[in-house]
Amino acid sequence: MKRTLLVFLVGSLFVAAAAFATTYMRVEKDGTKTYSDRPLPGGQVIDITPAQTYSAPPPASTAGPSGVPLEQQLLGQMDNFKYEGCELTPKSDETFTNPERVVVGVTVMPSLRVGDIVDLRIDGTPVGGPTTISHTIQPVYRGSHNVAVQVKDRFGRALCTSSTTFHVIKPSLNSPNRPSGGPVAPTPKPKPPPPQPKPTPTPHRP
């Protein structure tokens, strides 16, 4: 093993030395060229351009303007940022009578950051897209309805959570099939019976 390593090192040194040795060149009768590291009769010394080498550029720095790696900056933002609030409308226990529609809104404080996601749900069903902060319910069914919102960052961590419940009343007024919110027709009063003619008295004869 040691002998093989020694032969390899000696060969490497020989190649390196040959690379820097003087080179001779001679043109033969048939036009071919003969090269040698020793003087050739009728030959001449030539210069061989050294082989081009390539140096890889240094790796790009992942540090931000402050010199802190971007990954560490993102982790710091993920650990520290919180929304001050995410208020919902309608307010809790707000009641609507015969509404045609109800608008649900989310107010995020401060404003929604780029990349954060709004998860808005009405009665447990997601509505809108990842940045929806307003949704119109139409038609609106009677009963109580729950609205919940959760604002998440790009990593899925909850930054703000809120919920509210509003109520819808649609009285039937003795007509279950009457459209909600429509006018109620007054109940007609029964007409009095026509007057009956009085009987004519029979004259008395003696």
The pLDDT tens digits of the residues spanning 11-46 come to 454 444 444 567 877 877 787 878 777 787 877 777
Nearest CA among 147, 152, 134 for reference residue 82 = 152
Over residues 62-113, the pLDDT tens digits come to 555 566 777 776 666 656 788 999 999 999 999 999 999 999 999 999 999 9
Give dist(CA 190, CA 97) in Å, integer: 32
pTM exceeds cut of 0.75: no
63 and 70 Cβ atoms separated by less than 8 Å = yes
Domain ranges of the chain: 2-46, 80-169
CATH topology of domain 80-169: Immunoglobulin-like (2.60.40)
The CA–CA distances, whole Å, from 99 to 135, 165, 182 equal 15, 16, 11
